[in-house]
Amino acid sequence: MTTALAESSPVHVRAQQLLARLRSIVGDESVLAEQAELLVYECDGYTVEKKCPDVVVFPTSTEQVQAIVQICNEFDVPFVPRGAGTSLAGGCLPIGGGVMIALTRMKRILEVNLRDRYAIVEPGLVNVHLTQHLKGSGYHYAPDPSSQGACTIGGNFATNSGGPHTLKYGVTVNHVLGAEVVLPDGSVIQLGGTVEDVPGFDLTGLFVGSEGTLGICTKVIVRLTRDPAAFRTMLGVFETVSDATRAISEIIGAGIVPAALEMMDQGIVSALEQAFQFGFPLDAGAVLLIEFDGLEVAVDEEAQRITALCSQSGAREVRQANTPKERQLLWKCRKQAFGAIGRLSPSYCTQDGVVPRTKLPEILEFITDCGQRHGLRIVNVFHAGDGNIHPILLFDERDAEQVQRVLLASDEILAKCIELGGSVTGEHGIGVEKISFMDKLFSPEDLAVMKSIRDCFNPTGHCSPGKMLPTSAGCGNEHLPKTKPGRRAAL
Amino acid sequence: MSALDFTPATQLELSRFVAENAQDGRRTLCPVGGRTALQYGYSAPAPGTYVSLGQLNKLVDYPARDMTITVEAGIRIDALQQALAVERQRLPIDIPQRERATLGGALATNTSGPRRFGHGTFRDYVIGISAVDAEGRLFKAGGRVVKNVAGYDICKLLVGSRGTLAIVTQVTLKLRPLPETSAQLWMTIDSFPAIEQRLERLLTSQARPAAIEVLNPAAAALIVRSARCELPVDAPVLCIGVEGSAREVDWQLETLTQELSTTGLQECRRVREHEADRIWEALTEFQTCADDPLTFEANLRPSQCMEFARRATQLGVAVQVHAGNGLVVGQLLEEAATIDKTTAVLNELRGLARVHGGNLVVLHCDAQWKSHLPMCGDPEPSWGLMKQLKQKLDPHGLLNPGRFVDGAMSL
Ligand SMILES: Cc1cc2nc3c(=O)[nH]c(=O)nc-3n(C[C@H](O)[C@H](O)[C@H](O)COP(=O)(O)OP(=O)(O)OC[C@H]3O[C@@H](n4cnc5c(N)ncnc54)[C@H](O)[C@@H]3O)c2cc1C
């Protein structure tokens, strides 16, 4: 345990009792409590704030999750679910310490029913494993976050993840039929089902995206989507970012809904080139990765229309992937963009904001200015068709002053998103990172209703404390400098 | 006691009225839109105040290039669709009685129709919402952008909540382009098992239908009559709808004809242009068109639907199946017009639906029957939790009390 209290102190004794109880549920090997082992769990993909949990447990069944939650309640300690820990908003940060419930060992595919187009999976299943499992069946699981090689379906459920193909196919919630959840009081509940339109409120829809604050998801029933009959993948090369954004507006304005429409700016393209030598033009201001899918009879015609619209908007060239291999290469570079950033900088902060698509030129210009003002390098790779930006701010974590500039610049960019009629998160969630934005996006009334909802399911607040909703509305804590938390030790 | 009426001109006026009501009087409130689905749920609207959203019908913001629109909840569906058609866009949800139904009402009842197979339902299109809660607080959730995960998704919660959690005042929708054209393939087929074979074939069809409908002869006759079309109705019908460019539509009709012309096929017709539009409309209206005593909806797994339809046909029910989604709309015909007979039929069919976790709810029936029938179906495992939520958000039970899960629990 992390507490440095004397062994005879009541707190210490209680902590030992808690550990013993947890071990009796999941076995010794599935409980981590040594400082060195816990270090891995001090943060997720959001590395600005860190805090070790007091214990990490690895249940393998719903019953075990239930027992763990009941024990936490009995001992009055907070608990937080964790999937793969790829959250970029600090969703897994164990505020107040306590028990981290890692779901990565619950990773079975329980059922695939192609006739009725659903699958039932455990929450720790890695997203891409479901896709691989379905290969050749004519069906797939549509949400495809760029992190799909690592992130879990449970994490996707909790954050309502999107991905490049969200533009046409929607986000996680559009593909979830139901779930099994261990509620914060330790009861198990079935939401939705394998059938549509279960009578009652759409609690499934409410729980998706609730960032672990309403309970721990132990099973997900997902809808399977028919594979596209045919697709065409294109790469539009533009002199400037504003030409590229104009092309997006023209394509959408023409009534075409591509399956995916992703933008990469010069900064990211050159990093990718250094890393993988994909053969991208280094002097282009921006490239658009466009995928269109539909019927074989229609895709070529649409591809021509898209090419023409890109050219009208000033594209220097539009390349088309002519073989599956070429297509794969284009997507590989998009999905590895984050990996390539390691070459540019020791640390980086991926922001997530949304603007109406027609406001993309404005926000991108603002980001460039903002980077210059703060002396930061910012590169962009994002879901342009949805207006979902991901400016990546490069910095060195060891330089505290730089970290402050990154936080400041991030805040300015997000504030601008709100000003342009957008949101501060399109897919990564509020977590701890964006809590101070909630009262800028929502009124006290909005937040009060959300709080009633949380209180209804999570009255003690032990489940994922300190996430998503500001604790005391309107306290203006955005002016306080962000620090490393460690706000209150639970044990 | 007769109900009072209140018709606010602005959201603020509504908010003030509800706040005052929560302070003193505490009359029950029944939000109404186009009055097309007021009979849904357990009890008839309790005497109290009808809050009409009729004047909250303004178009607030329509940035067509962003493919979103923000409108007040009282806007009529036809007015909404007309505004969108100008920009060659639409909300691709089939809503009956569109010249009367309002967006708020359609959303609160989670209305949908045949094309939910290709396009989904309200939960897939509502991206932002404003509403007044039982205390009179005007609140919002979501926003005006197509992708947004800030805060709880209360939009999902209010879709289908039948006005029992809050009064929806304003909605932002995600939109889709209007297709160039559409058509249907209308096939009469020997038997339901022979249709099931085709439904299985459709799972891996080269085409991408927008709707897969199955009708028994009784339902087919009603639909053909209301669409004023000459189509065969003397056997079960498989009706597949496709949308897209003329070329896509032609290609799909051709492909589907080839894929599905196996044993058991009687006649195969292609329905196009204006006739196709009228068929879409008739398929959409079926759920509310009844003069008959009772309309229900069952939700099952798609694979169970044909067996269900076969049995329902034997029991004298006219059935329309949204076969890709596993939803069955049934109308009990005149013969079953006693409460005993009706109860027996519904119990048997509900039993069939329950086998794999489905259910059966009554959409419309004689008001006097309501207290004898499980209007919202058998209790679902999460109803206890829903009741808690209702209590939390509406502690005095002012909004449509007893109409939905809260009413179900007291049975
Ligand atoms: C390189 C990179 C690319 C990314 N690209 C995308 C992208 O394209 N789209 C996108 O949406 N996101 C993206 N993300 C963010 C992240 O991958 C997603 O949010 C993902 O869904 C998190 O899954 P996870 O299993 O890692 O969850 P974690 O990070 O472990 O947890 C995320 C949140 O969910 C909660 N949680 C986890 N499991 C459960 C459960 N079973 N029950 C209840 N709550 C639970 C946690 O408490 C936490 O709040 C990216 C991240 C990285 C690092």
Please give the backbone phi and psi of residue B175, each rounded to the nearest 5 degrees, phi first. Answer: -120, 170
Percent of chain A whose pLDDT exceeds 70: 95
pLDDT confidence bin for A486, thresholds 50/70/90: very low
- Plot region of A197 (φ>0 → left; ψ -120 to 50 → alpha; else → beta): left
Contacts of A447 in chain B (CB under 8 A): 151
Average pLDDT for chain B = 92
Percent of chain B whose pLDDT exceeds 70: 93
> A462-485: per-residue pLDDT in tens?
999 999 999 753 333 333 344 433
| CA atoms within a 13 Å half-sphere pointing along the CA-CB vector of B259 | 21
Answer yes or no: is the C-beta of A428 below 6 A from any ligand 1 atom: yes
d(CA A261, CA A283): 21
Q: Does A427 touch chain B (CB under 8 A)?
A: yes
Answer yes or no: is the C-beta of A95 below 6 A from any ligand 1 atom: no
Residue with tokens 């495809």: A144
What residue spans define the domains of chain B? 4-177, 181-285, 289-372
How much is the ipTM here?
0.95
User: Atom 53, ligand 1: which residue's CA is nearest?
Assistant: A86
Q: Does B127 touch chain A (CB under 8 A)?
A: no
Q: Does B148 touch chain A (CB under 8 A)?
A: yes
- The DSSP secondary structure of B163-190, one letter per residue, reads TSS-EEEEEEEE-EEPPSEEEEEEEEES
Contacts of B157 in chain A (CB under 8 A): 201-203, 205-206, 453
- The predicted model gives B12-28 an average pLDDT of 94
Contacts of A201 in chain B (CB under 8 A): 157, 160-161, 165, 386, 389, 405
Residue A441 CB neighbours (<10 A): 22
Residue of A nearest to B405 (CA): A200
Atom of ligand 1 nearest to the CA of A181: 42
What are the angstrom distances between the C-alpha of B122 and each of A226, A252, A256, A435, B294? Answer: 21, 22, 22, 29, 25
Asked whether the beta carbons of residue A442 and residue B359 sit closer than 8 angstroms, the reply is: no
pLDDT confidence bin for A458, thresholds 50/70/90: very high
pLDDT value at B406 more than 80: no
pLDDT confidence bin for A487, thresholds 50/70/90: very low
Average pLDDT for chain A = 91
Look up residue A222 and give its DSSP letter: E
pLDDT confidence bin for A214, thresholds 50/70/90: very high
Contacts of A189 in chain B (CB under 8 A): 381-382, 385
Q: Does B13 touch chain A (CB under 8 A)?
A: no
- Give the tokens for residue A453: 């909802």
Residues 6+ apart with CB under 8 A from A55: A1, A18, A19, A22, A31, A32, A33, A38, A98, A99, A100
d(CA B352, CA A361): 56
> A276-296: per-residue pLDDT in tens?
787 888 889 999 999 999 999
What CATH code is assigned to B289-372?
3.30.70.2740
Q: What architecture is domain A109-226?
A: 2-Layer Sandwich (3.30)
Mutate to test the interface with A, among B145, B250, B328 (most CBs of A within 10 A): B145
Which residues in B150-286 belong to E strands, given as ranges? 167-174, 176-177, 181-189, 211-215, 237-244, 265-272
Tell me which residues of chain B, numbers 329 to 358, contact chain A at a CB-CB cutoff of 8 Å.
Answer: 356-358
Answer yes or no: is the C-beta of A213 below 6 A from any ligand 1 atom: no
Q: Does B245 touch chain A (CB under 8 A)?
A: yes
pLDDT confidence bin for B239, thresholds 50/70/90: very high
* CA angle B251–A259–A348, rounded 5-degree value: 170
- The DSSP secondary structure of A224-260, one letter per residue, reads -EEPPSEEEEEEEEESSHHHHHHHHHHHHHTT---SE
Q: What architecture is domain A345-428?
A: 2-Layer Sandwich (3.30)
What residue spans define the domains of chain A? 109-226, 228-334, 345-428
What's the gap in Å between the CA of A131 and the closest CA on chain B? 17
pLDDT value at B163 more than 60: yes
What does the radius of gyration of chain B's CA atoms come to, in whole angstroms?
21
Q: What is the pLDDT of residue B334?
A: 73
Q: What is the pLDDT of residue A1?
A: 45
Range of lowest pLDDT (A61-65, A321-325, B271-275): A321-325
pLDDT value at A246 more than 60: yes
Tell me which residues of chain A, numbers 87 to 116, contact chain B at a CB-CB cutoff of 8 Å.
Answer: 113-116
Strands B181-189 and B167-174: unpaired
Answer yes or no: is the C-beta of A92 below 6 A from any ligand 1 atom: yes
Q: What architecture is domain A228-334?
A: 2-Layer Sandwich (3.30)
d(CA B329, CA B360): 10
What CATH code is assigned to B4-177?
3.30.465.10
What's the gap in Å between the CA of B169 and the closest CA on chain A? 14
| CA atoms within a 13 Å half-sphere pointing along the CA-CB vector of B117 | 27
Domains B4-177 and B289-372 share a fold: no
Q: What is the pLDDT of residue A340?
A: 82
Q: Which fold has domain B181-285?
A: Alpha-Beta Plaits (3.30.70)
> A334-386: per-residue pLDDT in tens?
888 877 888 888 888 889 999 999 999 999 999 999 999 999 999 999 999 99
d(CA B346, CA B304): 17
The answer, as to whether pTM is greater than 0.90, is yes
Task: Using CB atoms, pick whichever of A116, A190, A428 lies closest to residue B381.
Answer: A190
